[in-house]
Amino acid sequence: MPVSVDSLRAQEEAAFLDLTRAFYAHEGFAFDPQASGRMVRHLLANPQVGAVWLARRDGRAVGYLVVTRCYSLEFGGPFALLDEIFLLPEARGTGLGKRLLDTAAGYCREQGIGYLRLEVQKRHARTVEIYRAYGFRAEDRHLMSLPVR
């Protein structure tokens, strides 16, 4: 089965949104297709903000990756956030997840970004172990958010 990971093209927005809808349903997040469409179009039009990739198996979109750029004094400048990564259940365990992580790490190296960070739900212990096996380290910090809208 041929697999690929390629940058998202504007004409693939519908496939991306279908996958995003599946990811949000899996996680129990509210999904707003108009807002998600606006955000992905913003990323595509502003590469300095980040990048989006689609994973395909036999030409069919089965997953995606979103990396956004950030800046931190602690990390010596730019760092990246692995904002979203998702594979449909039938694509898991095929090596595509590692290819997506390799893509994120490669993007960081190409862009001169020294750190790649991510967040993962504590209830996803298996996923945490996958990230650790890849080389991510857990930090003794609290992730905190403040809605300001």
Instruction: Determine the pLDDT at residue 149.
Output: 87
What's CA 39's distance to the chain center, in Å? Answer: 14
pLDDT in tens, 11-62: 999 999 999 999 999 999 999 999 999 999 999 999 999 999 999 999 999 9
| Structure tokens that stand for 55 in this block | 């994973």
CA dihedral 139, 140, 141, 143 (to 10 degrees): 60
Residue 102 has pLDDT above 90, yes or no: yes
Total domain count, the chain = 1
* pTM score, whole prediction: 0.94
Residue 22 within any structural domain of the chain: yes
Give the model's confidence band at 82: pLDDT under 50 very low, under 70 low, under 90 confident, else very high: very high
Residue 118 within any structural domain of the chain: yes
Mean pLDDT, residues 107-111: 97
Instruction: Determine the pLDDT at residue 131.
Output: 96
- Report strand pairing: 3-7 vs 50-57: antiparallel
Residue 110 within any structural domain of the chain: yes
Mean pLDDT, residues 64-92: 96
120: domain CATH number is: 3.40.630.30
Sheet of strand 50-57, all strands in order from the earlier edge strand to the far edge: 3-7, 50-57, 60-72, 77-87, 116-118
> Which candidate, 123, 112, 118, 124, places its Cα nearest to that of 137?
118
Residue 142 within any structural domain of the chain: no
62 backbone dihedrals φ, ψ, rounded to 5°: -125, 0
Residue 148 within any structural domain of the chain: no
Residue 64 has pLDDT above 80, yes or no: yes
25 vs 122: which has the higher pLDDT: 25
Q: Mind spelling out the 3-state secondary structure of 22-53?
A: HHHHHHCCCCCHHHHHHHHHHHHHCCCCEEEE
Residue 112, CB half-sphere, CA atoms under 13 Å: how many? Answer: 5
Rounded CA gap, 53 and 65, in Å?
5
Percent of the chain having pLDDT more than 90?
Answer: 95
Instruction: Determine the pLDDT at residue 85.
Output: 98
Residue 139 within any structural domain of the chain: no
| Domain span at 130 | 3-134
Residue 1 has pLDDT above 70, yes or no: no
Residue 145 within any structural domain of the chain: no
Residue 147 within any structural domain of the chain: no
142 vs 88: which has the higher pLDDT: 88
